[in-house]
Amino acid sequence: MKTLIQSPTDPAFVQDPYPFYAAAQAAGQLHRWQDYGMVAAFGHSAVHMLLRDRRFGREVPQELRTEAPAHLAPFLAAEAHSMLDAEPPRHTRLRKLVMRAFTSRGIAALEPGIRDLCHQLIDAFPDRPFDLLDAYCTQVPVIAICRLLGVPEDMAPQLLDWSHRMVAMYQAARTGATEHAAAQASQEFTDFLRGYIEERRSDPREDLITRLIAAEEEGDALSTDELIGTCILLLNAGHEATVHSLGNGVKTMLQQGWQPDWLAPEGIEGLVEEILRFDPPLHMFTRYAYEEAEVFGHTFRRGDQVALLLGAANRDPKALDDPHRFDPARPPKVNKSFGGGLHFCVGAPLARLEMQIALPVLFERCPGLKLAAAPEYSNTYHFHGLTRLIVTRT
């Protein structure tokens, strides 16, 4: 197995990680990524298999758990009840209860409101160059999540602030200041949700929080801490990924010279899948080995971590012809952007719906949309999204 050296904060890598992925794939499925101190899966076959292999999981093995620094207690308390880092039977129970509330019918009911929201946001676009991330790509998913949860829309800026500070914990450029900010945000977010959930218990509404409170499976229900963890996960994962997906997608469409047929009803699903494959918002997802396991010639020991490189898997030439070409007409057979297996993203249908609405409305209303400055990616790997997207409407 080769050892690869590539800083995830190197400016050239941040702006374009795909050459590094391609060189790694040419040499094999698995390599040791020295900067992370773990084996990384670069090939589509390895990533696909590891996402589904029950010998690997998200939960930290018991013997590897250590006492966390006191200043991180609020952040870790919020994360402790997230199904993202749970394994069966805990994950099975949480996901079943959440899916009883997070229904396809409930998601579909958001469609008219999302469409109206897109038009309202575009009505407010200025005539001068402006940042489409702030004006549109961020607003659509965060307001949609507010509406889904039943949280007042005027809370959106505060929710965004809490979310950004918490999600920053997962980036390679994390610092001590990042940790303190995340802990403070976690405490404030938790305190808000605890009070809001109690309000909903006594005043039920037609929203997801009310449905989560009511969700039962053979007499079992979510605890208040589990409700809080679920709401935080849905907001943080639900809007961060869609913001980046929309931003990366608009950037790609403008650079590639978008075609009207991409946005037609029969083409929009293919466009969204290709955007997600070509330049996904999340490039790395990690797992722990729970037992000795041989994968593509490498033996993992219990407790070993492995990095699944979703962004690399999506462009593996062994799985897809001409993977570096953007082609919305191609069959969406290798898209790993929402993960896979039992941790497949719960919010994938909502993210797809938001993109399938927001992109056609944007380009129908603003057919002359153009880049007004060179887009730059943020130094936030393993997330992959833009710092801003400056455009003009003319």
Residue 151: phi, psi to the nearest 5? Answer: -90, 140
Alpha helices in 129-175 (DSSP H): 132, 139-149, 156-167
**Measured distance CA(23)–CA(42) in Å, rounded:** 10
**Measured distance CA(245)–CA(239) in Å, rounded:** 10
Q: Which residue has the tokens 């010998």?
A: 55
- Compute the average pLDDT of residues 96-115: 90
- Compute the average pLDDT of residues 164-174: 91
- Compute the average pLDDT of residues 75-100: 92
CATH number of the domain at 3-392, out of 3.30.70.20, 1.20.120.420, 1.10.630.10, 2.60.40.10?
1.10.630.10
| N-terminal to C-terminal alpha carbon distance within the chain | 52
Percent of the chain at pLDDT exceeding 70: 100
What pLDDT does 67 receive? 86
| Mean per-residue pLDDT of the chain | 94
Is residue 161 a contact partner of residue 52, using CB atoms and an 8 Å limit?
no
Give ∠ CA 72-78-176 in degrees, rounded to 5: 25
**Measured distance CA(238)–CA(233) in Å, rounded:** 7
Residue 103 has pLDDT above 90, yes or no: no
What pTM, to 2 d.p., does this model score? Answer: 0.94
Is residue 208 a contact partner of residue 106, using CB atoms and an 8 Å limit?
yes
In sign, the C-alpha dihedral spanning 179, 131, 192, 150 is: negative
Residue 212: phi, psi to the nearest 5? Answer: -65, -40
Residue 217 has pLDDT above 80, yes or no: no
